[in-house]
Structure 1
Amino acid sequence: MPTSTIAAGTTVTTLINHFTVAPERQAELVALLEEATEEVIRHVPGFVSANLHASLDGTHVVNYAQWESQEALEGMWADPAAREHMAAATAIATAEPRMYRVASVHHV
């Protein structure tokens, strides 16, 4: 099974979707995104991985997701079932999705 690998020079497209949410709804948002990923998004062709990060202050959730290509990611956005789940997420949080390529990686 593919895993998240952060490496420069690959064809992987990264989606970083930053959600701003009320602290009392952060857990609800994380659960909703987990459900969407398990039930729909991970089954869309070209999906590689998704990682959810919840801020310690409760006001943000970041989804770091990898796709085989920009076209695969755009295919997910066009999928009606995925759009339904994302509409539920944006009903309780503000989303700021952006596509990225890994420009540089550094390790100890």
Structure 2
Amino acid sequence: MTTISTDADLATLVNVFTVAPEKQRALVDVLTTATEEVIRHQPGFVSANIHASIDGTRVVNYAQWASAEDFQAMLVAPECREHLSAALSLAESDPHLCTVESVHHA
């Protein structure tokens, strides 16, 4: 479960993909399948959330990892490379590891 908190000791990935609108659904499907079949089974995986922009030009992956090292290890894991390559064949990626600095609720 994704819990966003400033005191959680997690590495937060915010990855914004820029995609042609006609490829957005394919990208969402690739990321969803990759996460379900391979990525969520990697050491240190906590959660992932895939968002599709209404205008069709962006897909955002908000993911949490136990550490930056766990995230980096996933990137080079052979079982993940094929899925990651498929996503990058559909869109440009702009990934950033972040810390949660502020959370607000109604």
- How far has the Cα of 1:9 moved from its partner? 2.0
Corresponding residue for residue 9 of structure 2: 11
- How far has the Cα of 1:100 moved from its partner? 0.5
1:53 equivalent to 2:65? Answer: no
Q: TM-score, normalised by structure 1?
A: 0.95
- C-alpha distance in 1 between matches for 2:2 and 2:56: 24
Alignment root-mean-square deviation, CA = 0.8
Give the SS at the match of 1:56: coil
- How far has the Cα of 1:11 moved from its partner? 1.0
- C-alpha distance in 1 between matches for 2:104 and 2:29: 31
Corresponding residue for residue 83 of structure 2: 85
For structure 1, the 5+ residue unaligned runs are none
Identical columns (%): 56
Q: TM-score, normalised by structure 2?
A: 0.96
**Aligned mate of 2:61, from 63, 66, 81:** 63
AA aligned opposite 2:80: A
- How far has the Cα of 1:10 moved from its partner? 1.7
Length, aligned pairs only: 106
Runs of 4+ in 1 over 4 A off after TM superposition: none
For structure 2, the 5+ residue unaligned runs are none
